[in-house]
Chains A and B, each alone.
Chain A
Amino acid sequence: MVVYSDKAIALNRFGLGARPATWLDADPRRWLLQQFERYDSNPSVLAAIPDGTEVYGGYVAIRRAAEASRAIFGGMVGGGLSGLGESGSGSDDTAEAAGAKTRCLSRTTRFMAAGAMCTLLGNNSFRTGEDVGEAARKLYRNAVEARTASALTSETPFIERMVHFWSNHFCVSVDSVPVLAFAGAFERDAIRPHVLGRFEDMLLAVEQHPAMLIYLNQNISVGPNSAVAVRRKQSGRKALGLNENLAREILELHTLGVRTGYSQADVTELARTITGWNVGPIGVQGTQGFVFKAQSHEPGARTIRGLRYAAGGIAQGEAALRDLAMAEATARHIATKLAVHFAGDKPPQVLVDRLAAAFGKTGGDLAALYRVLIDSPEAWVPQPVKLKSPWEWLVSVLRGVGAMQVDGLDVSALLQQLGQQVWKPGSPAGWDDQATAWLSPDMLFRRAQVVQQLVGKGAAELDGQGLDVQGLGDVLLPGAISMETAAEIRDAPDRTSVLSLVTMSPEFLRR
């Protein structure tokens, strides 16, 4: 029977896994609380990720060059941009194309200094959609590596865990090329700054980020009576209309939760309030790539769940979202997810109630919620309560051998093999935070296979730090290694086997 000490729980259930040479405050709870002040929402390892404005700028440059190339070379135009349409704009005339090519090259040069996206534009002969896809995939892989490096080096692993939690709650899925390009910026700029702030602020930052707007089709949603739609009708071209995808997921997944008393009419009304929320133009500093297009906004007052919102521009949608953030159903929804994450797949109702009450009382103060968790005995039960997800497990393995960087590892590919490709849950509901999502013969076997690939690096890391592999289990999981596991480790013929056994032990697979 596995039993964790408070120290092991602080390191592994609240944190991201012990490091071999971790110093831990004698009081595990104090160690957790101190992280609130030390948290860095923008660590240097993430600096190379371009923000939304820069990514968008790179996109427009590639697209215009591709269209110019099509005129000159007759090649295929970037297909990955089809989700990035600007409603109301027609396609460029080929007569303009040659001039556009020249303009875009100088624009490209201007962006050379701006970030990774632009350094990929060195090859200016954009003949096919593959260039766009290739650039986006490279951005994504870099961002995944940076995210992993941040998890490995973080001195505030509890808060870092909360970044991952919220990134999954407000998830996007990199199922398309544009979302691939924006996903790294999304987590860093819409999630990280708010994990110790207020839920409503994170909600607004998320719903106004290009990654989310593109992922759930908000960027092509147009109010049926908006200026843009009316003009289209008059000119006899194909009508533009409302897309309800984001509005539905805001209600069903981000705030209230499924079946909490909102109607189809509420979904449609919310969709109308956020028309005009779109991806931004080049050069607008500080917008992270967001712009409000008034001409696409559905005019008039709206009513959502009995609350009336006067006619207005961006403020109308923002007011609706802030009210949803304060709803009792939202408090209950978030409380349940937090309780599941820290106290087990079927958490005690009393913990859920306590968290929901704190959410309501503080108006969604996230730091206050984390304090409630740290104070709740239900989160400190000595028996394992959760099976680690592939991401959690891999991070804890790498931290466990003391790795501080991911050189030589294709982290993105490893996580794909483990069944949890970063930012690719495949649905806006995110990864299911339940053992049933991860416990299968196949998934367990893959972890053993992945460890084979890591043992070389792992052994080198430990040697480099003068650490003894045999004693690793006791260091990482103080007082938690069972006699049976210890016996197997003692009998192991080589270091590879020891590392495999430690990281595949029931004690290490769970938290």
Chain B
Amino acid sequence: MLQRRRFLHLAGTGASAAMMAPGLAFAKRQADTGQRFVFVIQRGAADGLNIVIPHADPAYGQMRGTLAIDQAAAIKLDGMFSLHPALTRTAAMFAQKEAAFVHAVASPYRERSHFDAQNVLETGGAKPHEIETGWLNRLAGMLPARDPQGVALAPIVPLALRGKAPVTSFAPTSLPAIPADLLDRVGRLYERDRELRAAWVSAVETHQQVHAAAGGVSPARLGLMAAQFLRQPGGPQIAMLESAGWDTHGGQTSRLTAVLGSLDAMLGGLREGLGSAWANTTVLVATEFGRTVRANGTGGTDHGTGAVAWILGGGVNGGRVIADWPGLRDADLLDGRDLRPTMALDGLIASVASQAFGLDPGEVAHVLFGTRPSGEVLPGLVKPARV
């Protein structure tokens, strides 16, 4: 039924029957059904084991020692896992089946350098510095053309969102306004400078669209601002948010609680700001790698491998933790120290992104990550949009 409708639409635009190749069946949607996608990057290697806690694993308590989260304090998710107590709004979304977690995921990268790993996480390459653009920008390029099609709530556009598709960055500022005629004059200075001109034009447009916040910006407000961009008719369908402070080599117990509280508030602000658009929005939270299973000598953990990814949104088939659990005994660990990954993060991202926009999963995997999986990694994560 759906295919037939598309064929009629394509015929109306002059496309011949010969163009109805299988790959095109899910290709560029012409109508804006309001689907939105948000990528929240956790920089610094977020400790998945203490965020989505495998309490039912008998080795958890002993491996984590003084860092282990008390089961009674944590929020039960299912028979195996619980959630860190700081994530109250996220837990509420889970209870309403609007959030899911995927455990023991990792990118193809296996060294433990933040900078190289973030490069892989953002570019979608198999190795660091292989590709100069980001997968999120390539995803934007698969959607109907819009300028900008993506927005980053950050001082500059992060690597994941850099590339050919037009994107912009916005970070609130409390500096004074510039007189309109000076805006024009400065613009004229850049008439012969392509690089500066593009940046200036975009900045002027952005600042005219959104009211800048006064003073410092709370995480909740950042989420709200991202939502405001996404809600604009004809506005960007993709947003990216930054979350920092995850590199807990020491003092992990208090630091993780604090940074989870901030992220929880940001996600809450995003959901609240989206309002009815939440139903058609998908949020992915991911980090460059996880952390060591055992605590280190300084009340924290060191760089690891397997991590947790979060999927949230009004259309998500949530209320579950997806994991092919590798176990936490010595013999189960990767290199004797890390949570062994059992799922590829890029496969997960391709699944989520294709389902979020109703795109062909094989095409998405190819464009974003250069892979051609034989089957879909995680079907049914996001319900098709209500048109």
Contacts and interface: CB of A to CB of B under 8 A. Distances in A.
B189 A501 contact: yes
A438 B154 CA distance: 12
A417 B111 contact: no
A92 interface: no
B116 A259 contact: yes
B164 interface: no
B189 A448 contact: no
Interface in A440-460: 440-446, 448-450, 452-453
Interface string B181-214: 1110110111111011001111110110000000
A240 B250 contact: no
B3 interface: no
Interface in B321-346: none
A453 B175 contact: yes
A238 B244 contact: no
Contact of A222 (B185, B191, B250, B297): B297
Interface stretch (A157-165, A200-208, A502-510): A502-510
B157 interface: yes
Contacts of B171: 442
Contact of B189 (A242, A445, A488): A488
A243 B244 contact: no
Contacts of A449: 173, 175-178
Interface residues of B, number: 51
Contacts of B249: 217, 243, 245
Contact of B250 (A243, A259, A438, A509): A243
Contact of B173 (A435, A441, A446, A452): A446
A444 B199 contact: yes
Interface string A74-109: 000000001100000000000000000000000000
A438 to B, nearest CB: 7
Given A242-B297, A441-B206, A452-B178, A258 B116 contact: yes
Nearest to B191: A484
Interface in A224-263: 224, 238-245, 252, 258-259
A482 B207 CA distance: 29
B43 to A, nearest CB: 8
B15 interface: no
A492 interface: yes
B350 to A, nearest CB: 26
A444 B115 contact: no
Contacts of A506: 189-190, 193, 196
B176 A444 contact: no
B242 to A, nearest CB: 10
A258 B156 contact: no
B173 A224 contact: no
A249 to B, nearest CB: 10
B172 to A, nearest CB: 9
A419 interface: yes
A1 B191 CA distance: 11
Chain A's interface size range is 35 or more
A442 B204 CA distance: 9
Nearest to B162: A436
B165 to A, nearest CB: 15
By CB atoms of chain A within 10 A, which of B115, B196, B298 has the most? B298
A112 B177 CA distance: 44
Contact of A505 (B176, B183, B189): B189
A22 interface: no
A439 B176 contact: no
A433 to B, nearest CB: 14
Contacts of A221: 297-298
B113 interface: yes
Contacts of B250: 83, 217, 220, 243
A242 B195 CA distance: 48
A471 interface: no
Interface in A42-68: none
B176 A241 contact: no
B251 interface: yes
Given A426-B244, A427-B114, A504-B186, A240 B297 contact: yes
A292 to B, nearest CB: 19
Given A217-B250, A258-B115, A453-B176, A244 B189 contact: no
B189 A417 contact: no
A72 interface: no
A441 B251 CA distance: 37
A244 B298 CA distance: 10
A244 B188 contact: no
B232 interface: no
B98 interface: no
A221 B196 CA distance: 47
Contact of B302 (A244, A437, A492): A244
Contacts of A492: 185
Contact of B203 (A238, A445, A450, A488): A445
A217 B176 contact: no
Nearest to B188: A488
A245 B298 CA distance: 11
B148 to A, nearest CB: 9
B140 to A, nearest CB: 16
B298 A217 contact: yes
B298 A241 contact: yes
Nearest to A242: B297
Contacts of B202: 441
A455 B71 CA distance: 59
B297 A241 contact: yes
A393 to B, nearest CB: 13
B173 A504 contact: no
A445 B196 contact: no
B296 interface: yes
A500 interface: yes
A387 to B, nearest CB: 8
Contact of B200 (A436, A441, A450): A441
Contacts of A445: 178, 200, 203-204, 207
A34 interface: no
B305 interface: no
A448 B200 CA distance: 10
A485 interface: yes
Interface string B276-312: 0000000000000000000011100010000000000
B189 A441 contact: no
A83 B299 CA distance: 11
A419 B155 contact: yes
B66 interface: yes
A218 to B, nearest CB: 10
B290 to A, nearest CB: 16
A450 B181 CA distance: 17
A497 interface: yes
Interface string B248-290: 0111000000000000000000000000000000000000000
Given A220-B298, A442-B170, A488-B185, A452 B156 contact: no
Nearest to A222: B297
Contacts of A501: 185-186, 189
Interface string A468-511: 00000000000000101100100011001100110011100100
A33 interface: no
Most A Cβ at <10 Å: residue of B174, B176, B189, B201: B189
A438 B170 CA distance: 13
Contacts of B200: 441, 444-445
A443 B206 CA distance: 12
B35 interface: no
Which 4 residue pairs are nearest across A and B when measured between Cβ atoms? Answer: A241-B297, A441-B203, A449-B175, A445-B203
9 contacts: A243-B297, A244-B302, A436-B162, A441-B170, A441-B200, A445-B204, A448-B186, A485-B189, A488-B185
Given A258-B115, A440-B156, A452-B176, 9 more contacts: A83-B250, A217-B250, A241-B296, A258-B116, A441-B170, A442-B169, A444-B199, A449-B173, A497-B182
